[in-house]
Amino acid sequence: MSRIVYVNGRYLPYAQACVHVEDRGFQFADGVYEVCEVREGALVDEGPHLARLGRSLAELAIPEPMSMAALAHIMRETVRRNRVRNGLLYLQVTRGTAPRDFPFPSPEIERTVVCIAWPRAPDLLEAQAVRGIAVKSLPDIRWRRCNIKTVMLLPACLAKEAARNDGAHEAWFVDGNGFVTEGASSNAWIVLDGGAVITRQIGPDILSGVTRATLIEGLAKEGISFMERPFRLTEAQSAREAFITSASNTVMPVVRIDGVTIGDGKPGPITRTLRSKFHQFAAISVS
Ligand code: PMP
């Protein structure tokens, strides 16, 4: 089936979907984005993703390109036109196109808006969740405003490539004090021996994950004890369970960190329960 991409007001065939060479997203990574899960044709946690997009835009003083309702319409329309039942939706907004110069151009210029949706086979992801994934740790070399979801993803690309070369599926960043910040494209969690679930508190050193926030609500509903605090790699390696969260993985078990087996090397019961119940906690859009 041919793919359709939304670019600046038009739904275009994939091969014709382009932005200008002087788009500030291309030249300066001056843009923000969101990735949403598409499940049974509906967007998962659409509202919180749009709210975070609004916060990212505000942090960078990029004027909203249109109302959030109009963006939601584009997201749903992109899913619909691509007939995606299960997959992912990508939405990007950049400051727009202007002659290359570091300071911001006039706020009057049109922002660039791109929306793409693609299908994914749920059984492949499920098979991975049954096995669990390996993680590789790396120093966190990112900037100090990781709470903004910018398209400046080169540290994440380098980390993911290093992880892949080591047979790992995700990289965990470690700060200067030896504490795990988050994954290259996910939030990091551990489960202690007593069953308490731990993840780092939000702040400028991590992205406030939408999946993370939804799961925290779910933990309360399930009566699972939960604490927000930093943890070291060594604590994670001796934890009973570990997992990551992101829109593209929901809850994904981690079974190895830097070659050290977590628990008995299989996804643990709390992680499995949280994964299986995740969509009961999340908001599913109805179009
Ligand atoms: N941290 C980083 C650095 C990420 O890139 C992502 C995925 N976008 C996450 C955390 C998880 O965020 P979410 O649950 O909103 O997908």
CA 115 to chain CA centroid, Å, is 16
For residue 124, the tally of other CB atoms under 10 A from its CB is: 9
147's CB contacts (< 8 A; 6+ apart) are 59, 202, 203, 204, 205, 206, 207, 208
Residue whose CA is at the smallest distance from ligand 1 atom 12: 209
Q: What is the pLDDT of residue 203?
A: 97
CATH number for the domain running over 125-282: 3.20.10.10
How far away, in angstroms, is 108 Cα from ligand 1 center?
30
Q: What is the pLDDT of residue 287?
A: 59
How far away, in angstroms, is 167 Cα from ligand 1 center?
21
Pocket test for ligand 1, best of 246, 252, 274 (most atoms within 8 A of CB): 246
Q: What is the pLDDT of residue 2?
A: 76
Q: How many CA atoms lie within 13 A of 197 on its CB side?
A: 25
| Amino acid at the residue 9 | G
pLDDT tens for 197-207 read 999 999 999 99
Q: Are 274 and 251 in contact (CB under 8 A)?
A: yes
Low-confidence ranges of the chain (pLDDT < 70): 1, 286-287
Of ligand 1's listed atoms, the one at least distance from the Cα of 156 is 3
Sign of the torsion formed by the C-alpha atoms of 89, 94, 99 and 103: negative
The third-level CATH classification (topology) of the domain covering 4-120 is: D-amino Acid Aminotransferase; Chain A, domain 1 (3.30.470)
Of ligand 1's listed atoms, the one at least distance from the Cα of 206 is 1
Catalytic residue among 149, 221, 266, 277: 149
How far away, in angstroms, is 276 Cα from ligand 1 center?
20
For residue 89, the tally of other CB atoms under 10 A from its CB is: 25
Of ligand 1's listed atoms, the one at least distance from the Cα of 52 is 15
**Ligand 1 first shell, C-beta below 6 A:** 35, 182, 185-187, 207, 209-212, 245-247
**DSSP E strands: which ranges in 218-277?**
226-228, 241-246, 250-257, 260-261
Domain ranges for the chain: 4-120, 125-282
Q: What is the pLDDT of residue 285?
A: 81
How far away, in angstroms, is 69 Cα from ligand 1 center?
23
Residue whose CA is at the smallest distance from ligand 1 atom 9: 186
Q: At what angle do helices 46-59 and 68-81 cross, to 10 degrees?
A: 130
149 is catalytic: yes
Across 67-85, b (16+ Cβ under 10 Å) vs e yields eeeebbebbbbbbeebebe
How far away, in angstroms, is 183 Cα from ligand 1 center?
8
For residue 234, the tally of other CB atoms under 10 A from its CB is: 11
Q: Are 76 and 43 in contact (CB under 8 A)?
A: yes
Of ligand 1's listed atoms, the one at least distance from the Cα of 184 is 3
Q: What is the pTM of this model?
A: 0.98
What's the angle, vertex CA 240, arms to CA 175 and CA 272, rounded to 5? 105
Residue whose CA is at the smallest distance from ligand 1 atom 7: 185
Length of the chain counted residue by residue? 287
